[in-house]
Structure formats: structure tokens, C-alpha cells
Chain A
Amino acid sequence: MRFLLDAEQRAFAASLDALLTAADTPKAVRAWGRGEHGPGRALWLRLADAGVFALAVPEAYDGLGLRPVDLAVAFVELGRHAVPGPVVETVTAAALIREPGPAKRLLPALAAGGSVATVAYQGAYALDGDLADVRLSLAPDGLRLAPGHDAVRASLDPARRLTRLRPGGELLGAGPPAPEALLLARLTTAAQALGVGLALLDRTVAYVRQRTQFGVPVGSFQAVRHRLADARTALEFARPLVLGAAVTMAPADVAAAKVSACEAAYATARTALQLHGAIGYTEEYDLSLWLTRARALRTAWGTPQECRAQVLAARA
């Protein structure tokens, strides 16, 4: 057993972190929410260059083969930097498209970042259907390329644009979807949520160190310190669940990772907002980008209730 990231995986995380820190992600997130996708697409290409999307694409189609642990590592960083857009959906699409014809036609561009995909169950909201080049609908008879989408609806997270896909369209694969592809959606959502939680914690720690009241940093008050210690504990115990689930890809492990990462991130969001005081409650302050994301990811690709039911069902 070696339940540790290897040097290469740690370097991958560090390089994504550096790339995203340099890229002024908050600006891209805000533009994305306004429907201006340019800066986000530019970011997308750089992530593709770093290999992020190729990690879900088979080697035969210019990918690196499905590598869930590396994907989890990457998605923690995407979450930490609030990267906008259907990142989860794009890797899920890459894992869903199996038929050689569609795979040959669609996957190389997904791996290279030139095209963006979204996926949803038929009738459910698809993230960013207005921008996606490939819109996949999980229809009862199989995977379909949706012919279009309905009006964009606002999400609690301004950078998430909700769209319903139109029914019908080309059949890309018959029968039920590949279960591991949907597990990948849940896993990467969990990893992203963990990253969101870590970012909220880091920013809040930095804030309470410099914000003074009553003549001392508010971070010296025990009520403040203890809430942050609890947030750190919850996040640090979600992390091994996310990585462990990526190793086993067992449905119950992935569900456990999703509940615990999302609950930890959401609890951290509450703490972050509280400890920032009023400034945290404003749209203009960047904390808001992670606060709203934490809430949205909680129900994306499996509500807490569904995930807990899966954990129980696995040992029936």
C-alpha cells in the first residue's frame, strides 16, 4: 500500500496551481457569468495543454487514458481557483463517448481543449449548454447529441449557467450510459468541491490574520480560531475519501467522497462568510465566487441524500 500522491502527481498539482494563479481566474469567472466566454476559453486551452482533459480520453483518440487519481488531483486545483465552465461535464463526456465513430470525431478536440462539452440527464439542467460545442443528453434509449438548448437560467452561482437540452438528436451510443463515466462526474465534482473548500479556508485564514478589531487580529479570538480548526478538520478528512474513491472507483466510495467533500466545503463556506463579516456578503469581493460555488456543487451530480442512499445500498 502506498496511499500517497507520487512526486509526479504533486508536481502536476503545483503546476496547475501556478498556471491558474497567473491567469487571473476571478476575472474569467466573472466574465463567464455575464456570458463572455473569451477569457474562460483561453484558460480552458491552457488547462488542456497541461493535460487536464486528456486524462479522461483514451490514448487512441489523443488522450492519456482514463486516470481518475490524476483527474481528482487536477480538479482539486480547478476548484481552488474557481475555474468556470463545464469542466466536470467535459471529462464525463470524454468517458461516455465509446462508439468508435463518434469517439474519433469528437474526442481529440475535447482532449485538446478546442471543444467544450456538457452532459445532463434528459430533462435536467445542463451546465453551460449555451456555450458547449458538444451537448450530450442521457436519454432513456442511449446517449444523444442534443440539437440545442432552451433559455439560460441563472444559478445561485453566477458563473454556472443552467440550460435544458432539447430532446432528440443523433444517437451516439445505445443503451445505458457507462457507469464509470457517471462515477467520474461525481468524483470530479467532489474533488472540485474539496478545492473550493480549501480556497475558502485559505482566504479566510489570510483575512482573519490581517483584519483587526479591538486592537488585535480577529484571528486571535478563540471563537474564530476554533471554527477554522473545525473547517480544516472536515476538509482534511474529505481529502482521503476523494483520493481513495479515485483509486477504487467503487460507487459507494465515490458517493462517500461526494457527500463528505461537499458538506465540508459547504460548512467551510458558512464559516468563511461569517468570519469575513459584511465584506464577505458582497458580490464585488472575490470570496463570493467560492461561496456560491460551494452551494451549487452540493447538489450537482448527486445530492447528499442520493449519495448517502448509495452508501447504504452498497452494503444491503
Chain B
Amino acid sequence: MDLALTREEEAFRAEARAWLDAHVPAVAPPSLETAQGFAAHRAWEAELAAGGWSVVDWPARYGGRDCGLIRWLLFEEEYYAAGAPGRVNQNGISLLAPTLLEHGTEEQRTRVLPPMARGETVWAQAWSEPEAGSDLAALRSRAVRADGGWRLSGQKTWSSRAAFADRAFGLFRSDPDAAKPHQGLTYVMFDLRAPGVTVRPIGRLDGKPAFAELFLDEVFVPDEDVIGAPGQGWRIAMSTAANERGLTLRSPGRFLASAERLHALWRERGGPPEEGARVADALIGARAYQLFTYGAACRFLAGERLGPESSLNKLFWSEYDIALHETALDLLGEEGERADTDWAERYVFSLAGPIYAGTNEIQRDIVAERLLGLPKGRR
């Protein structure tokens, strides 16, 4: 067992750091949850891509460096330590791309992935519906067979950044007569500006407008935008949902950087001893998450499939993130009430962690049943 990096890994880390040092904007762009910020973040994605840093773990032919999981983790550590902007195409990169790499056609991959890597196409995830949240399989939006494709109708909601995004991917009921709700769902990609799509922004807790609901009225989707076989949507979506909760949605880099920032804030405030324990716990938690992730990455590289453990990840980072940001606001005292600070923006975002990507109650059920072997409860 060791934590040593190879010379090549160290060199990769140094190369990433040097590039980021030279390119990370000195003044942070506005929030990516606003129209202006969205455009600035798109430009940043293009710059990242030009340097070859936007999707380092992807195959080179789609814009990546084929660099593997460990280097990706190192890159992310450097990325957040450098204070680089948030990733506007997170959903595309961490959810759709792995899905296409596993289940898509080569035609889909070559068409969809390179513009995603360059930030030219920003993707939204259209899974949730007003009546289908935790019980996602209850979704009702339909896909009806049409000439050369499908017509989508219904309503999707809570779609992150859909107010400004270009395209979306989501599940639609293509066989209303299927025996079980999980069956008869089809996974498709569609254009958010196609005829029949209405996007209505929904202000978040802090009023920022990028969140949205989508109304779909007979929106045409060609066959080449169906991912996998029609009717197989659930299986395909679930096989990559673990990505969202597990490794790829939240690498340790972000929390390591946040914990360092919190520690700096605490020192700046004269290191009030009564807050010391919470600051120490933030540092400890970031290290725990880092080492846990290294372990998971090494298991994955050794050929193990990561399964329900990703629910442990999700429970950990979401609770951790809130505790860290609560500590920061408490340290700031009266200033902690201000809405226009980075801390405030991050605090508000952290509050959603236990809700999105499968609520923490649902994750606890998965841990209880699939890792602890407890009897099924009422759902």
C-alpha cells in the first residue's frame, strides 16, 4: 500500500499547475447561474479545451488526454487549488459523456463529445418531473414513434442550468403498456431550442435564474439521438447514475481547496479557538474524502466495479460540504449574512447537495439494503 506518485504523475501535476497558473482568470467570472456568467464560463471552457485540459480523462480522439483516473484526480486537485472557475458543462461531462462512451454509437460520440469538450454545446439533464423526483421511474413524459424518430411531450423540471444550456438528455416513456414502470423508457438527447420546447427559468434559493423547467410539445428527435435501444433507457441511465454520486461528480479537489480556504479564513479572523474544532474537522474530512477516493480509484483500476459504495460518497460529500460552509458563514459573523460573497454563493449551493443526485434518504436506503443487507423497507 502506498501513496507515492510516479515521476510521470508528478510531471503531469506540475504541467497542469503551470498551465493553470498562467491561465486562471485573476478576477473570477460572474456566477455561472446567471446569463452573463454563463457566457464567461463557456469562454473559459473553450480556453481549457484549447490548452487540452477540459476533459483530461477522455480518449484523445474526442478531445481528452486519455490520462486515466489518478491523473484526473490530480488535475482536479490542481484545478480547484488554483481557484479556477466552476465547470458549466458538468452534467454533460460527468453524466452524458460516460453514458455515450459506454452505450453510445461511434457516430454519436464523434458528433457530441468534441463540441462538449470545447464548451460549444452545454448540456442539461432532463430526468426529474413534477410527479417523478425520488421515484424517477414514475415519470410520465412520452416519446411517441414518428417517421425517422420520436416525438417528445410532457414536462421536465429542476433542470440545472437549462435556462442557458443548448441541449438536454433525459428519459421518456416510449411504451406506456410495459409491465413495470422501469420498463418502456427510452433515453434521448434533444435540442433545447427545437420547435415545441419552452424553457421557463426557476430562481434558486438565491434568486439566480439558471435552473429551469421544460415544457415539451411534440418535439421531434431523430433516431440517431436515441441512446442505446428504445425501451432500455432505465438500465442505461442507472448504469451511469453511479458516476454522478460517486467518483466523477465530486472529485476531492474541490473540498481540499475549500478546506484550505476555510482554514485561511479562520487564521485571518485570529484563529478563534472555539471554531477551531470545526475547522479541523473540515480539514480532516477533506483528507478522508481524498484518501477514500484514491482507494476507490485504485480498486477501479484493479478491475473492481464500483457499485453501491458510491452512495457512501454522496452521503459524505454532501453533508461535509454543508458543514464546511456553515462554519465559514459563522466565522464571518455579521458579514456572513451578505449575499455577494463567494462563501455565500457556495453555501447556498451546498444546501442542495443532500437533495440532488438522489436525495440522501434514498442513498441511505441503498446503503442499508445493498451494503448492509438490511431487509427492504416500505418505499
The chain A residues found within 8 Å of chain B, CB to CB, are: 1-6, 9, 69, 201, 205, 208-209, 216-217, 219-222, 224-226, 228-230, 232-233, 236-241, 243-244, 246-248, 253, 256, 259-260, 304-305, 308-309, 311-312, 315
Contacts and interface: CB of A to CB of B under 8 A. Distances in A.
Nearest to A256: B284
A1 B295 CA distance: 10
Given A222-B361, A308-B284, 9 more contacts: A225-B365, A226-B364, A229-B363, A232-B372, A240-B291, A244-B287, A305-B277, A309-B276, A315-B263
B3 interface: yes
What 5 A-B pairs come out closest when comparing CB atoms?
A240-B291, A308-B280, A225-B368, A229-B364, A229-B367
A69 B2 CA distance: 10
A230 B2 contact: no
Contacts of B276: 308-309, 312
Interface of B: 1-6, 9, 70, 263, 271, 276-277, 279-281, 283-285, 287-289, 291-292, 294-295, 298-299, 302, 309, 312, 315-316, 361, 363-365, 367-369, 371-378
B70 A1 contact: yes
A256 B263 contact: no
A230 B360 CA distance: 10
Nearest to B376: A220
Nearest to B374: A219
Contacts of B271: 312
A236 B378 CA distance: 26
Contacts of A259: 280-281, 284
A240 B365 CA distance: 23
A228 B372 contact: yes
B208 to A, nearest CB: 30
A263 to B, nearest CB: 9
Which among A2, A69, A208, A304 has the greatest number of chain B C-beta atoms within 10 A?
A2
A247 B3 contact: yes
Contacts of A221: 377
Contacts of A224: 374
Contacts of A209: 373-375
Contact of B3 (A205, A222, A244, A311): A244
B3 A312 contact: no
Contact of A226 (B279, B288, B361): B361
B299 A228 contact: no
Nearest to A216: B375
Contacts of B292: 236-237, 239-240
Nearest to B4: A1
B373 A205 contact: yes
